[in-house]
Structure 1
C-alpha cells in the first residue's frame, strides 16, 4: 500500500467511463446524473456555466476521475487543486490528512502530483467533460469552466514549471497530453453514440482564462499585490485572491466560535497578527480592482482561504491543521459581509467556506458566485450531494453579475449565528464506530442495529410503521424488546447516535417511531397475544421487577419456562415506575409494558422482599435471576454538610406529586440524566425558586444526553459548570472554581481545581452522582464480587453459584433500560439454552436505497422517518461515497445479496476520509480487499488483496492474512477460499476496466 497516486491513462479512463455507464448507469460510482438546462447559463469571464458551483481546490479536483464525478453530479465550475513549486514526493503532506466526520480538518495544501502530472490530469478531465456532456446528455459542451489555482509566492509562480502550467492551461494546443487526448478520442469514435469526429476536433485548447491565487499565512501584503499584478498584467488572467478569515481579527473570530458552540476549536492570535491586516487589504484590493479594469479583466476575492487551528488529541498528525465546513461558515460569510459593505457590493466574491445545501441558494441569490464546496461532499453521499445542490440552484433566477447584495449577505451572517444547521449542538457528534474490524466481504450493516444493545430490527419496524402496519411493527419490536413504551419514551437511543443521518442533517427519529408503533398497535397486539405453554422443566424466580427483571421474566415465560417475579415494592416497574418523574414518562405507559409481560403468564408476587437465594430455591425454583438494580447510594465527598440522595428525592417527589419541602434554593450535584431529572423535578417542587446544577466540567462534557440538558435549560435550571463542591454550611454550597486541562483517557478535558471560591445559595443539596450495587446482599448469599462490590459472572451472566444469574444495574451499577433488557434476554437464553429472538429480513430494492444517498431532507411533516432511513444494511458504501479519488469501488458479485467493496490501491493517497465514516473500527483503505496495479505494489503493502499477472491466462497473486498464494483461473484447485475466488472472478469478468 502506498500513498502515491498513479494517474490513470486517458484511454483507460474512457474505457472505464463508457463501460461502467453502459453496464450500470453510473460514472465513477455516482448513481444519479444532473442534467442541466442548456438554455439557462451564467456568463463568467466570457465563458458560460450551467450551474454556478463546483468543487473547491482540494481533494475533489486533484485527479481526472474526481472532476468527472463532480461534473456528472452537477458541478460546472471547477477550481483546480493548487499547484506550487514544491510538488510530488517533495511535498510534506502528513497522512491521514482529512478528518471530516464533524467540522472538517485537513493538513493538506497543494497537489500531491508533480505539476506536469497535475496539468495532464486537468487536460484529460477537460476533454472527457467535453465529450460526456453530449454523450450522456448532461448539458452543453460549453457549459462549464476550469479555474486554475496557484501559490504561494511570486518567485515560485515565475519558475518555468509553474509558468508552463499556467500557459499550458491558457492554450494547451501544443502540449503532448492535449494531442494524445485528441488522438485517443478520435480512435474511440466508434464507441460513442452521440459524439462525432467534428465534436472532438472542435474541443478548444483554451482551458483556463482565470486564476485563483493562494498565499501562505504570513505572506506580506506587498508580495500578494506583486503576484496579483503579475497575473493581471503579465499573464492576462481574470484573477481571484484568496482571503483568510484572519482579516476579521482574533477577538471577533474567537467570540463567534465560542458563542456558536465551537469553543473547543483551539487557535491562538499568532496568524491574526502575522497575516494580511484588514487596513492593508482594503487599499490593496482597490488598487488591484482598478488595475483589472484598466486591463479589461475581472478581479475579485475568494472567500476563504485556510483557517489554521491547533491539533487536539491527535485528530490529525502534526501540530496545526486547517478547519473547514459548517464551523468555518460564520467566519466566511462574516468576511463576505464586511467586504461587501466596504466595496458597496462592487467587489466580486468567489465563495467557499461551509457552503452546502442549507445555505448555498441564499449565498448565490445574494450575488456571490461562483461557489465551491469541499466538506459537504467529503461526507456520506459524497459527489452525489452535488445533484441536489444543482437542482436547488436551478430553481433560482440566473442574471448577470452586477453587484453583491450587501444587505442580504449581512442577513446571512446574522442568521448563521443562530441557525441550527450552522451552530454547534451542546454535545459533540457521537462516534459511530463499532468495536470490531471491517470484514473483507459482506460488510454492510445497519449501525443503528449494531449500536442497539438488543440489536432491534430497526429498519424493519420503521418501514412497517410508515406503512401504518402498527401491529406488525410491534410484533417485530417485541421479538427482542418487551418494553416498547418505556424504550419508546426514555431509551438512551444509542441507535440514533450511530445513525448515518447524523452526517446529513439529524438522526432518524427511531425512538419516536417505536413509540408510535407501540401506541398504534398495542390494543390489536394484546388481543391476539396468547399465553405460551409451559414446555421447560423446573421453575424460574426473578428477583426484582424493574426493566431487567421484566425482560428476563418475559423471555423465560415466552420460551416455555414457568416464571415468577418477586418484587419488594407494591408494584412492578422499578426505578422507571417509582422514581422517574411523570413528565418523563406517563405511568399508564409503564403499566402497558407491565401488562405485556404478564400476558406471557408470568406470576407476580409484590411486597416480597427476598434476602436469601437459598430460601427461594427451597421454594422449588431451580433457577434464580437477580435483577436487584443498584440501590446503594453513591458517595460524594464533602468536608462538611449533608446531601440528599437523588433517587430518594425523586421517589418522594413522584409519590407526593411535587408537594415536598426543600426550600427556595436547591443545588443538584451531577451531570448525568438522573441529575437532569432531579433538577427538573426540583424546579417543579412547591416553593422552589432557583435550581442550580453544579458540575466540574462544562455542559459539553456532561454524560447526560443532549436532549435532557436542553429540557433542563428550558425548565429554568441554572447551570453552574466548572465548579467542584467542597462543603455545605449556613445555607450555602461552597465550591472551588475549576479549570479544564488536557484531554484525559475518556476524551474529556481533565478538571483541575483552583483555590478560587464560589458560593451558591442552597437550602437543599441533592447529590446525583450515581448509585452502587448491593455488595452486602451478594456477600450474604456467598456470591463472589470484585473490588467494586459487583458480582463476578461468566459470559452467560451466571455467578459462582449454579443457576443463579445477575442482570441489569445490579451487575455493574447504573446503566440504561435497553442494557437491562439485554441482560434479561441474555440470562433467559442461558437458562433456556436457546435463542429467545429471531432475526427479521428487510428486503429492499437497492436502487431505492441508492436514490436516498446524498439527499438532505429538511424537516417536513410529509416525510416519514422510514423515508429518511438509509437502510445501511442494504446499501452502506460510505467508504465509496466519501473517497474523493474513487478508490473504493462497489462490486456486484453474482449469487451474493450484498455488494462488495473493492479498494483500488493505485487511486488512493491515504487521505483517511473513508476511515472517518466506516461504521467499523477500521480504515477501509487499509482493511478492505485490495486490487493492486503491480506485483511490486502488492509487496509494498500489507493489505489483503490481489494482482493480475497475466490477463489472458487469468494468473493472479492473492494475499490473505500474511500468506501470498498463486491462483490460475477460477476453478477450485486453489487454496483461495471460494468466496474470494468469486469476488476476483466478478472483478475480472464484469469490471475489467479496473485493471
Structure 2
C-alpha cells in the first residue's frame, strides 16, 4: 500500500456521483443530503452563501470527492487545502497522520498532492458542485464558495507554481481541467435529467475571490503583512490571515489548558516567543483592514492554526503534532474574543478551532462566520454531521455581517473553560477497541454487546424499548442476564464504555434503559416465567451473591433441581451487605431473587457450607461454589491497623452510618470500592472530612469515572500522589510520589520522593482489594495455584474435583457483577450440556439507522433514551464514516446479510483515521479486503485484495492468504463470500474500478 492518492479523472468522478445517486441514493457514502429551502442566503465577498459552514482546509478538502461529499451533506463554504512550494514527493508527511478519538491531533500540514494536481481537484469539484446543485436539487448553483489557502512565505507564493495556482483559481477558463470538465458535461447531457446545456455554460470560471494566508510557526509579522499586501494589492483578493493561539501568550494557554484537565499536554514557550506577538498583530490588522477597504475588499483573520504540542505517548509518529478539536476551542474562542474586544468587533473572523454542534449556533449568532470544521467530521458520523449543523443554523436564522457582538463572543469564551463538552475527562479515556482482529468478511458488530462480558443483546432490547415493547425487551434481557434489577442499578456497564455515541456526545445510558424495562415489565414477565426443559439433575450452589443467583437462574430455567445455600439471612452477597444502601436498596435485589423463586429454586439461608463432600452425600450431582472473595486485603501501616473497607461498609449499612470514626477519615485506594467507602464515610455520623489517598493522580485511578465523579460531588477530598507510611498522634504521614514514564499497564509509573505530607486521620480505612478464600478450597481438596486461586478448566470452570465448579469473585478475585454472571453461565452450561441462552438478536431497519448517523442527540428527560441507540448491530460502517477520502466503501452483496467493507487502495493516503475508530484491534486501511487499480499498487501492498482484469468482471487477480493468482469468475476454489464481493463490485459498483 502506498500513501499516495490517485486523483479520479473527471469523467469517472462525475459518473461515480451520478450512478451512485441513481442506484443507491447516496453520494460517496453520504446517505442524507442537505437541501436549501426558501431562506435568503448570506453574502460574503460579494457572493451568495447558502449556509456559513463547511470543511476546513485539511483532510476534508484535499480531494474532489471530499469536497463533493461535504457539499452533499450541507457544507457551502470550502476552505480548500493549503498549497505551498513544497509539494508531492518533496513534502514529508509521517503516516498515520491523524488521531481524533478525543481531542484531535495531526502531523500533516499542506496538500500531499503536487500543486497542479491540487488545482485540478478543486476545479473538478467546483464544476461538479454546480452540476449536482441543479441535478439533485440541493440548492442554488451560486450558493457556495471556495476559499483558497496559500502559504507559507512571500517568496514561495510568488514562485511560478503557486502564482499559476492563484491565478487559475481566480480565473480557470483557460485551464485544461476546467475546459475538459465543461466539455465532458456538455457531451454527456443524456446523463442528466435536470441539467441543461445552458446550465453548464453558466458555470462560472472565476472560482475564488478570497484567499487565506497560512503561515508557519515563527513567521515574522513583516512577512505576514507583506503576503497580505501582495494578495490585496497585486491579486485583488479578499484576504484572511491565519492566527495562532500563541497570540494569547504562554501563561494564558498553559493555565487555561491545565484548568480544563489538559495538564498532560507538553508545549514549549519558544513557540509563543517566536510567533507573531499580540502587540504587533493589532496595529498590523488595523493597517490591513484599512488597505483592503481602500481596495473595496474585505480583510479578516482565520482563527486558528492548530496548536503545536509534543508527542509524548506515541500518539503519532515524530516529535511534535498539532492539537485541534475540543482542547483547542477554549484557546481559539478566547483569541476571537480578545481580537473582537480590541478591534471593536469590526475585524471579520473566519472561525475554526473546535467548532462543533455544541458551540456553532452561538459562534455564528455572535457574528463570527464562516465556520469551518475538521475534527468533528473525523469522528463517527463523519460528513453526515454537516446536515444537522446546517439545519441548526437555518432554524436559528441568518443575519448579515454587521460586526461581531463583542459581549456575546466574550461570554462564549468565558463559558468554554468549564463547559463539559470541552473539558478533559477526569480519567484517561478507555480503549474502545476489542482485542480481536477484524475479519476480511462480515466484520461488524455492536461494540456494546461485544464489550459486555455476557454479550447481552443490547441493540435488540434498545430497539424494543424504543417501540415501548418493554415486555419483549425484558425477555431479551433475561435471556442472558438473570439480574436486570441489580445490573440496572449498579453494573459497571462496560457496554456504555464501548458505545459508539462516546464519539458523538455521550454514551447511551444502557444501564438506565435496562432498569426501565425491568420496572415496567417485571410483573408480566415474572408471572409467565417457567422452566423451558427438564434435566434430571440436582445442583447445589454455595453462596447467594450475584454469581450464585445467576447460576441458579440458568440451571433452574433449564429444568435442574437447584438449591442455594447462603450463610447470611438474605441473598445478594456483597450487593446486599456491602454496597452502600444509598446506592442500592435491598428491595431491588429481592426482585431479581423473585425470578429464581418462580423457577423453583430452593433457598436455604443462615446455612454455612464447609464440606463439599457433605453436599455430594446429600445427592447433589453438581456443586457450584460462589462464595466470593471475602478475605481482607492486607495493608500494613506503622502505628495502626487500618479498618477493612468491606467490614466498614457492612457496619455502615447495618447501623445507618452510626459508627464512631472521628472527624477525619482517610480512605486508602483508588478503585470503585474505595469510592463507595469514601462516600459512605462522608455520610457517617460525626465525620467532617474524608480524604482519599492514592499514589497516582485521579487520571490513573482504576475506579470508573462515574464512581470517581460521584465521590468528588459528595465532597471527598482527593490526596493524589501520596503513599501511606505511618500513623501517629491522629495523623497519617504519607510519602510524596511523582509520576514517571508509562508502565506496562498504560499508566504512568510512580517514583517515591523523600518528602512527606501529613493528613489528619482519626480513622484509616483500607480499600485495596479482597482475597479469595484459599483455605476453604484447600480444606475441600480443590487444587489452587501459587496465589491461592482455584485451578479450573477455563471453558467450564470445573475444578480438579469432578462436577465441582467455582464462579464469581472467589475465582480470580474481585470482579464486576456481570463478570460473575458470565462465570455462572459457563458453569451452568457445563452442567446442562448446552447453551444457557439463545440468539435474540433483531435487526433494525437500515433506513432508521442512517437517519441517526452523524446526528448529535444528548440525553433529555422527556426523550426516550433508547431512541439514541445507533443500532450498530444492524449497521457499523465507522470506517466508512470517518474516512475523509471515502476510501472505505460499503458494498451490498446479494445473498449476504450484511454489507461488506471494500477498501479502495488508490484513494487512501494512510491517514490512519479508520484505524482509530474501528471497534476491532485493527486498521481497515490495512486489514480489509482491498480493490487495487493495477499490479504496481498490489505489489506495493500486503493487503488481501483483488484487481479487476477485464471490463466485464470475468477475470481477476486475487491475493488471499498471502497467495496471488489470476482467476476467473465462478472459480470454485475461491471462498464464495470473496467471489460474491468481487462480483458485486463489478456488477453494482463499476464506478469503483479505476480505468
Q: TM-score range by the shorter chain?
A: over 0.9
Residues 709, 952 of structure 1: CA spacing in aligned structure 2 closer, same or farther, 3 A cutoff?
Answer: closer
- The 2-side partners of 1:821 and 1:843 are apart by 25
SS at match of 2:740: strand
Residues 202, 547 of structure 1: CA spacing in aligned structure 2 closer, same or farther, 3 A cutoff?
Answer: same
Corresponding position of 1:669:
668
Contact 1:531–1:599 at 8 Å: present in 2 too?
Answer: no
- The 2-side partners of 1:466 and 1:25 are apart by 27
- The 2-side partners of 1:335 and 1:893 are apart by 51
Counterparts of 1:435-834 in structure 2, within 5 Å, are 435-530=435-530, 535-794=534-793, 795-834=795-834
Please report the RMSD computed on the Cα atoms of aligned residues, expressed in angstroms: 1.3
SS at match of 1:611: coil
- The 2-side partners of 1:463 and 1:182 are apart by 49
Residues 287, 594 of structure 1: CA spacing in aligned structure 2 closer, same or farther, 3 A cutoff?
Answer: same
Per-residue deviation at 1:37? 3.0
Deviates more, 1:56-65 or 1:260-269: 260-269
Per-residue deviation at 1:531? 5.0
Tell whether 2:973 aligns with 1:975: yes
Corresponding position of 1:847:
847
SS at match of 1:66: helix
Corresponding position of 1:30:
30
Query: Aligned match of 1:992 in 983, 990, 993?
Result: 990
SS at match of 1:931: strand
Deviates more, 1:841-850 or 1:111-120: 841-850
Residues 532, 938 of structure 1: CA spacing in aligned structure 2 closer, same or farther, 3 A cutoff?
Answer: closer
The one-character-per-residue Cα deviations of 1:612-648 (angstroms, maximum 9, x if unpaired) are: 2223222222212111211111122423322000001
Counterparts of 1:68-87 in structure 2, within 5 Å, are 68-87=68-87
SS at match of 2:501: helix
- The 1-side partners of 2:635 and 2:239 are apart by 64
SS at match of 1:346: coil
Tell whether 2:955 aligns with 1:949: no
SS at match of 2:326: coil
- The 1-side partners of 2:187 and 2:781 are apart by 85
Per-residue deviation at 1:89? 1.4
Deviates more, 1:114-123 or 1:175-184: 175-184
Counterparts of 1:161-310 in structure 2, within 5 Å, are 161-310=161-310
Per-residue deviation at 1:659? 1.3
Contact 1:38–1:50 at 8 Å: present in 2 too?
Answer: no
Per-residue deviation at 1:397? 3.3
- The 2-side partners of 1:181 and 1:57 are apart by 24
Contact 2:531–2:559 at 8 Å: present in 1 too?
Answer: no
- The 1-side partners of 2:116 and 2:336 are apart by 34
Tell whether 2:340 aligns with 1:343: no
Q: How many residues align?
A: 992
Residues 831, 531 of structure 1: CA spacing in aligned structure 2 closer, same or farther, 3 A cutoff?
Answer: closer
The one-character-per-residue Cα deviations of 1:832-889 (angstroms, maximum 9, x if unpaired) are: 1110100113132111111110111134334212211000010111100110000011
User: When the two structures are superposed, what TM-score results if normalisation uses the length of structure 2?
Assistant: 0.98
Deviates more, 1:290-299 or 1:914-923: 290-299
Deviates more, 1:925-934 or 1:615-624: 615-624
- The 2-side partners of 1:939 and 1:406 are apart by 58
Contact 1:642–1:728 at 8 Å: present in 2 too?
Answer: no
Tell whether 2:127 aligns with 1:127: yes
Corresponding position of 2:906:
906
Contact 1:237–1:297 at 8 Å: present in 2 too?
Answer: yes
- The 2-side partners of 1:776 and 1:266 are apart by 51
- The 2-side partners of 1:727 and 1:598 are apart by 50
SS at match of 2:327: coil
Counterparts of 1:106-117 in structure 2, within 5 Å, are 106-117=106-117
- The 2-side partners of 1:923 and 1:360 are apart by 31
The one-character-per-residue Cα deviations of 1:724-761 (angstroms, maximum 9, x if unpaired) are: 11111111010112211222222222222222211111
Contact 2:530–2:557 at 8 Å: present in 1 too?
Answer: no
Contact 2:506–2:858 at 8 Å: present in 1 too?
Answer: no
Per-residue deviation at 1:499? 0.5
Corresponding position of 1:356:
356
Tell whether 2:372 aligns with 1:387: no
- The 1-side partners of 2:313 and 2:625 are apart by 41
Corresponding position of 1:365:
365
Contact 2:218–2:271 at 8 Å: present in 1 too?
Answer: yes
Contact 1:427–1:701 at 8 Å: present in 2 too?
Answer: yes
The one-character-per-residue Cα deviations of 1:753-774 (angstroms, maximum 9, x if unpaired) are: 2222111111100000111111
SS at match of 1:395: helix
Per-residue deviation at 1:268? 2.6
Runs of 4+ in structure 1 off by over 6 angstroms are: none
Tell whether 2:26 aligns with 1:20: no
Instruction: List runs of 5+ in structure 2 lacking aligned partners.
Output: none
Deviates more, 1:546-555 or 1:118-127: 546-555
Residues 487, 196 of structure 1: CA spacing in aligned structure 2 closer, same or farther, 3 A cutoff?
Answer: same
- The 2-side partners of 1:465 and 1:140 are apart by 42
- The 2-side partners of 1:469 and 1:122 are apart by 51
